[in-house]
Amino acid sequence: METIDTLDIVQTIVKALDGKRAEDINVLHVTDLTILADYFVIADGMSVTQTKALADEVEYQVSEKCSRKPRSVQGEPNGGWVILDYGDIVVHVFYKEQRDFYKLDKLWADGESVDISSWVVKEN
């Protein structure tokens, strides 16, 4: 059985989020900062409906392309925040106002930002 590199899974997550028009996708490499995960992927949707759709799409794409299921899914889509925990990767999908409130990007700013520009579609 072929093993899939963690960064390949991160790329699958980013592409899934981008495909559903997530806003402000940010990937932080946090291995040296925490034992919680190697990568945090943070993104937001423009409505609670989109936020739920983003989380569902990530779960579907990672399952289909990487044969991985999240260890846990937490949060409340109607509350504006869903967390998909893949062990080495934690995906935070926010409704925009919730992301602004929790400021995870600022909290984990010491993490190394991953260049995802080649994984996302450029809009005109």
Q: What is the pLDDT of residues 86-105, one digit of tens each?
A: 999 999 999 988 898 889 98
Q: Tell me the domain boundaries of the chain.
A: 6-104
Say if residue 58's pLDDT is above 90.
yes
Exposed / middle / buried, residue 78 (Cβ in 10 Å: 0-12, 13-18, 19+): exposed
- Residue whose structure tokens are 């932080």: 28
Say if residue 1's pLDDT is above 60.
no
Alpha helices in 1-124 (DSSP H): 6-19, 48-66, 96-102, 104-107
The mean pLDDT value for 16-23 works out to 96
Task: Kindly report the pTM of this predicted structure.
Answer: 0.93
Distance of CA 73 to the CA centre of its chain: 12
DSSP code per residue over 83-118: EEE-SSEEEEEEEHHHHHHH-HHHHTTTSEEP--TT
pLDDT value, residue 31: 93
Structurally, what CATH architecture does the domain formed by 6-104 represent? Answer: 2-Layer Sandwich (3.30)
